[in-house]
Structures are given as C-alpha cells and as structure tokens.
C-alpha cells in the first residue's frame, strides 16, 4: 500500500553500530489513532527503533516519514516540533515543583510577530493543565510536590507533560514497569483515552498488560519484524514461540 495512508512510515530502515545491524531493513507503518505495542527479546532493537524515530540515533539507510513528510536526519527538537513525543523509562520530572508547575512548564511557548518568545496566557495554560491532570488521575494532587508522588503517579505525570505539548504520536518505553496492579489498569485506561486523538507506540515486556491494551503487536527479533498482528495471532505464531522459548 501507499505510505501516504500512514501517520508514520519507516521504510527499509537500517542502523549499523560498527557494522552490527541493530535494525535491519525495517518496514513499520503506524496508522492514525493506533496503539501499537512492540515486543521482542532483549537486544531485538526495540529501543533503537524509538531512538531512530525521535532522531536520537541517525538512520544508516532507509527513510522515516511522518504525516507524509521526510523526518529522516532531522534534529531531536525538530522532530518534537513536528508532533512526536518520547517518554523514557526514568521520569524526567522536577521533583521539587508541584504537579501543576510540572505540567505548566511543559506547555510550549509561542513567538510573537517580532519573533520574541512569550508564555501563553495563564487562563489558557490553567485550563489545559486541569484537563491533562484529570486524564492522568492527578486532579486532586495539583498542589503536591512531585517528589511525594508514587512511582506510578510520576510516570503518569511525565506522560501528562508530554501531552501538554499536544503530540500526534507518543512513544513510551515500558510505561508500567514498577507499577502496582491497579496502576497498570489505570494506565491501560489512560492509553485508551489518549488514542482517541493521537497514536501511541509502546515497548512492553509485561504480556498481561500487552493483552489488556494491544490493538496490534509487532514482534522484533534481530532488528527485523518476526511477526505482526493481533495478540491471538502472535501468541500462536510458531516463530514467536521459538524465539521466546529459546531464551
Ligand atoms: P532492545 O531495546 O530490544 O533490548 P536495543 O535497541 O537496546 O534492544 O539494542 C539492539 C542491539 O543494538 C543490542 O545488541 C545493543 O547492544 C545494540 N546497540 C544499541 N545501541 C547501541 C549503540 N549506541 N552502540 C552500539 N550498539 C548498540
């Protein structure tokens, strides 16, 4: 099919580290409003794929298109501006600021006609902070210092900080690692809320969580796609079973 149909299209993407191909001729297509989960054994190339999409690692060969525009080779901040947000495993929140302040600081500033930076009007920011805080289950904790939050709440706060930038594609690396069972359930709820208006790519190891959220799963192995499909298809795929049982 045509790449113009997709929000994100990786075509024949390869990255070599000293001749070792961590990602090897990858074709990956993400639709608008899709929640895609990437799984695969350690060293399969999952993190590298997200690094390539967000511009942190340079593509050796192939192309990455977002909304039908080439983003291959753009700088990280330029890719953020195009509408791609990335969350890493360790939250990068400001521990000694409040939940409200953390969200407020993440609202992108604008430029006036003279090109000078300005902060958006405060009512607009406050309204957006309230809206996002509700999505991430922190409405009642807006005045709490971030350091007092649970591990799971900190993860949500960071997702909220990314949402303040209004990305069209959000990439999350193991969002439920270290979370309690009830926090996992709420995170699944949150992701389903997010994809009403955006697309999400998640790297995940917790298969129970994957089952609870996944629309479509991509299994990576040695930098290539081993299998792709719904959870049922993946679980019954003999190639997938072999890779996981072999470890
Ligand atoms: P995963 O996230 O699936 O565990 P990674 O994407 O982290 O896998 O790594 C894929 C392979 O690429 C691994 O063998 C890893 O050692 C290698 N790799 C990743 N980043 C680098 C790098 N910057 N330099 C050299 N090798 C790397």
CA of 43 to the centre of ligand 1 (A): 6
**Residue of the CA atom closest to atom 5 of ligand 1:** 45
Q: At what angle do helices 181-194 and 122-135 cross, to 10 degrees?
A: 130
pLDDT of residue 45: 97
pLDDT at 90: 73
Domain presence at residue 194: no
Ligand 1 probe mutation, 37, 45, 201, most atoms within 8 A of CB? 45
Residue 22 CA to ligand 1 center (angstroms) comes to 6
174 shares a domain with 153: no
103 and 142 part of one domain:
yes
- pLDDT of 207 reads 86
Residue 195 lies in a domain: no
pLDDT at 208: 87
Start-end of H helices in 122-180: 122-135, 151-163
Ligand 1 neighbour 42 (Cβ under 6 A)? yes
Is 193 a member of any domain?
A: no
CA dihedral over 46, 47, 52, 57, signed as positive or negative: negative
pLDDT of residue 1: 47
Residue-range definition of the domain harbouring residue 144: 90-166
pLDDT score recorded for residue 214: 72
127 falls within a domain: yes
Domain-located, residue 192: no
pTM: 0.92
Using one digit for the tens of pLDDT, what is the confidence trace for 171-202?
Answer: 999 999 999 999 999 999 999 999 999 999 99
Structure confidence at residue 58 (pLDDT): 95
Q: Tell me the best of 13, 17, 40, 51 to mutate to test the pocket of ligand 1, counting ligand atoms within 8 Å of each CB and taking the most.
A: 17
> What confidence score (pLDDT) does residue 109 get?
67
**What ipTM is given for this predicted complex?**
0.97
Q: Report the atom number in ligand 1 closest to the C-alpha of 45.
A: 6
pLDDT along the chain (247 residues), means of 10: 76 96 97 95 96 96 97 94 88 92 83 59 86 98 97 96 95 94 96 96 91 90 96 91 75
In the reported structure, the alpha carbon of residue 166 is separated from the centroid of ligand 1 by a whole-number distance in angstroms of 29
- How many domains is the chain built from? 2
Residue 40 in contact with ligand 1 by CB distance below 6 A? yes
Question: What atom in ligand 1 is closest to the CA of residue 40?
Answer: 3
178 part of a folded domain: yes
- The H or E element spanning position 239 is helix 238-245
Q: Is residue 17 part of a domain?
A: yes
Q: Report long-range pairs for 144-151 (Cβ below 8 Å, ≥24 apart).
A: 144/98, 144/99, 145/95, 145/96, 145/97, 145/98, 146/93, 146/94, 146/95, 146/96, 146/97, 146/98, 146/99, 146/102, 147/95, 147/96, 149/99, 150/180, 150/183, 151/178, 151/179
123 shares its domain with 79: no
Our answer on whether the CB atom of 155 is closer than 6 Å to any ligand 1 atom is no
242 and 143 in one domain? no
Do residue 55 and residue 104 come from a single domain? no
Q: Classify strands 169-173 and 84-87 as parallel, antiparallel or unpaired.
A: parallel
**Is the domain of 31 the same as that of 128?**
no
């Amino acid at each position: 099919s045509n790449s113009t149909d997709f929000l994100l299209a990786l075509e024949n993407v390869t990255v070599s580290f000293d001749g070792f191909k961590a990602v090897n001729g990858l074709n990956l297509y993400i639709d608008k409003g899709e929640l895609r989960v990437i799984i695969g054994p350690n060293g399969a190339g999952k993190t590298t794929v997200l690094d390539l999409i967000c511009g942190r690692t340079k593509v050796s060969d192939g192309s990455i298109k977002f909304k039908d525009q080439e983003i291959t080779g753009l700088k990280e901040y330029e890719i953020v501006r195009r509408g791609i947000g990335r969350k890493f495993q360790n939250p990068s929140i400001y521990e000694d600021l409040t939940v409200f302040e953390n969200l407020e600081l993440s609202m992108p500033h604008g430029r006036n006609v003279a090109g000078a930076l300005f902060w958006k009007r405060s009512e607009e920011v406050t309204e957006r902070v309230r809206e996002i805080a509700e999505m991430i289950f922190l409405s009642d904790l807006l005045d709490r210092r971030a350091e007092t939050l649970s591990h799971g709440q900190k993860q949500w706060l960071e997702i909220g900080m990314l949402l303040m930038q209004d990305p069209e594609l959000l990439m999350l690396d193991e969002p439920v690692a270290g979370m309690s069972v009830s926090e996992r359930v709420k995170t699944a709820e949150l992701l389903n809320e997010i994809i009403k208006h955006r697309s999400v790519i998640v790297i995940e190891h917790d298969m129970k969580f994957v089952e609870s959220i996944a629309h479509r799963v991509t299994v990576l192995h040695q930098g290539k796609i081993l299998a792709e499909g719904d959870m049922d298809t993946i679980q019954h795929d003999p190639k997938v079973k072999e890779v996981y049982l072999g470890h």
